A and B are shown apart, each in its own frame.
Chain A
């Protein structure tokens, strides 16, 4: 059974179907990609999964158990963590304090004896930003800010990690390092759901891809299948490619 399943989720904003009957799942030990143009409903899907947005229709399941009625923090306690496309850092706290705050918020819900300070130092090193540990997060450039958010999410010891455009604002070397880190996390058994526009990263790191367009699921499959999927080609490149 997949760790995360969402079934027939719809979100309507006024007259607009932001997400239209989307069904997808994310499995342990796999990096699952969610791609599609701006406005395709990717971030809204993330918000539905994490409980920041109630779906108009459809179900969200963790371990086969419906969590629709659970508040965001209760879902987080079941092992869900995320990063944000528009950074949601705790700006006045330092990078280290950001991770410590997350570790102390989740301390009761993860089995770990480490103190928040130890967790913070370990994770900052893991994502590779130890040198800015004492800089207030609000003053970090976007790329490093995203890494702070990643470390913060990891501090809750998630089983499911949702990453919303984690590579934007990072240069090529940083993206390379990041791809390696993602693979590691998946190999440790984490289910990773990735929204990303950097196709190089998506194609190299994802095990399975879902393509959204106008809120609808356009295609799914392995990166290679998706790359040659006629609907995807048509959506991205034009009708003549059909």
Chain B
């Protein structure tokens, strides 16, 4: 009984921290409509900043606390609102989600860059060795403080939201933002205040939670993400229910950990199989809560104007693209040194994983954060079935990953937007924290050892009797695999199935009234995309040769998604770009000369570019590169000339006229200049930077200056209608 009490009380203190984090999340979500995925990252940054001041520079704790909680964090939150979140008004849920995911990536990258993760950073608890006894339970002061602070936060928020006009205005904005501004409340100020408060709460949670584990970027971020489950129990609306959720979450987590031994003996499952499960318990709760959310009605259009478009590739264009990929791969394989080729091998597998996102995220608009985990499934299959280079293992990798994808999709079918993203994220975290690190086990007489004790060896495939172990042969083989999947993706886009996917993204309600069963279609696209990811994983694994669960973690998957988004989630070219950016040594080599710790900076950069996405949700390949090169489809002769020029360069390189650097720069120069030169020769106009109708729904001037500098344009008026959520006049 005493033991039970101890776990409950310690669970309550965990709950207190979760509650603080979750209320911040709920507050910003309700008042501004943005679910801040980066909440965990921001809290983690704050904890590091606090450590730097308190233990790095030895400032007194009160000074550091006041600075972080009441100055830096609110400022950062207000700044976020000012430069990022404000621009997201009127964009799709997907864009909002991707931008905050990018922010999370950027905070993790920046923290890793600033604070070397290999250094130990002890962070002491408050009044470390003092203990107080409550109801016979000895409670460290640190925990008492957490409990008190949670209560203070609850009371303070209650007072703010009911007794202060700004707080009432926050709630008013939740109800009806347009009306709030008709009343004269300045929405920007309200949003800024809520971001500032939300960020401070994330910071407080980060500082309180940091001493319970070593100060380390990723675990700390994920620990705060655990609190999202509490926010979900509050349905992202109710603060009291969020506190209840935090208590359920905190107490159950500590009870599970406390009674781990008894559970093991009771279920006769060795605790080493369950430790990963206990670790991920909050994520399991998050998953369950998401599944129990009440059924949404079929979504119909939101007021936002569609500014996203999906290019429809032609077969000749695709043939050219595929030809250049394979041809280029063959040419490259002859000029690159072995070592470079070895590290470059990864780009094709990564590229295929990127391609798997195109039908799922790009066409049908379902954000999935678990594609890399599904690729991991493919790797596991490849390891076990392809041990002797059996090429059929590639097929099995796709099939098994497809089945896993199907099973994951089944319960998530009715989720969309942030809920779907969270449930797939939960699956990804569950895989890399629990399933992939499971030790060997036996079931029905069969022995399972998924990750081979933490390190998978993947043997290269044997094809037509040859083993693709040579660097060159594997490089070309992988490029062919990539090219084939490109064709599959193009086939999907050009088929009526692809049309149906896009239709489903635009209006599920309309699809249902046109005989489509939305659930079956979603299930099918999840399965197909998972199969592609599994196949990609099999190729990626062969390139890496040995894989650890860490290389499949949630954040790595996030980077892939983010670079895909930057390139353009509907474009196979983006997958190639992503593969080269994340999988090739060149970028790191080039930039590494300028910035020494480039690998962290890379994450930061990806995050930063992703943040800018609110401006152009289509990605740069469909909106900038493609229109630029379209002209070559009209002038075949010019295209031939460019191709001949490439081959010429390659022959010169083979003859050792110049080295690889010159070759690379010449190729890049040719790529950049050819469309420009052709346009000048043929006197064709340059394409507009964006297609008409794809304009950002944004006022041309800030709203309070509208009409002062010139007459209000039609476009501005329509945008204003949208922003004020005024019904469009029917006829």
Contacts and interface: CB of A to CB of B under 8 A. Distances in A.
Q: Does A touch B (CB under 8 Å) in the complex?
A: yes
Interface of A: 50-53, 71-73, 75-77, 80-82, 84-93, 97-98, 100-102, 104-106, 109, 116, 136, 138-139, 149, 152-153, 155-156, 165, 167-170, 197-198
B496 A101 contact: yes
Given A76-B515, A91-B506, A152-B514, A138 B298 contact: no
A105 B515 contact: yes
Contacts of A149: 510
B310 A72 contact: no
A164 to B, nearest CB: 10
Contact of B500 (A101, A152, A197): A101
A78 to B, nearest CB: 10
Size range of the chain B interface in the assembly: 20 to 34
B516 A105 contact: yes
Contacts of A89: 506-507, 510
A88 B730 contact: no
A123 to B, nearest CB: 13
Nearest to A75: B513
DSSP class of B's interface residues: helix, strand, loop or mixed?
Answer: loop
A52 B511 CA distance: 11
B30 interface: no
Interface of B: 297-298, 300-301, 305-306, 308-310, 496-497, 499-500, 502-503, 506-507, 509-518, 692-693, 728, 730-731
Nearest to A103: B496
A90 B502 contact: yes
Chain A CB within 10 Å, residue with most, of B305, B497, B507, B692:
B507
B513 A50 contact: yes
Contacts, number: 118
A136 B309 contact: yes
Contact of A136 (B499, B509, B693, B731): B693
Contacts of A52: 297-298, 300, 509, 512-513
Contacts of B514: 73, 76, 81, 101-102, 105-106, 152-153, 155-156
B500 A104 contact: yes
A134 to B, nearest CB: 11
Given A50-B513, A52-B509, A93-B506, A86 B499 contact: no
A92 B308 contact: yes
Contact of A156 (B309, B496, B515, B693): B515
B306 A84 contact: no
B517 A73 contact: yes
Contacts of A197: 730-731
A90 B693 contact: no
B693 A138 contact: yes
Contacts of B499: 90, 93, 97, 100-101, 104
B182 to A, nearest CB: 20
**Most B C-beta atoms less than 10 A away, residue of A101, A116, A139, A152:** A101
Contacts of B517: 71, 73
Given A50-B513, A80-B513, A104 B730 contact: no
Given A73-B517, A93-B499, A165 B730 contact: yes
Contacts of A101: 496, 499-500, 502-503, 514
Contacts of B308: 92
A87 B301 contact: yes
Contacts of A100: 496, 499
A92 B310 contact: yes
Contacts of B306: 91-92, 138
Contact of B496 (A116, A139, A153): A116
30 contacts: A52-B298, A52-B513, A53-B297, A72-B509, A73-B514, A73-B516, A76-B512, A77-B515, A81-B513, A81-B514, A88-B300, A88-B510, A92-B309, A92-B310, A92-B502, A93-B502, A93-B503, A97-B499, A98-B503, A100-B496, A101-B514, A102-B514, A104-B500, A105-B516, A136-B309, A139-B693, A153-B514, A156-B515, A168-B731, A169-B730
Nearest to B496: A104
A100 B297 CA distance: 26
Given A72-B298, A76-B512, A76-B515, A85 B730 contact: yes
A30 B388 CA distance: 70
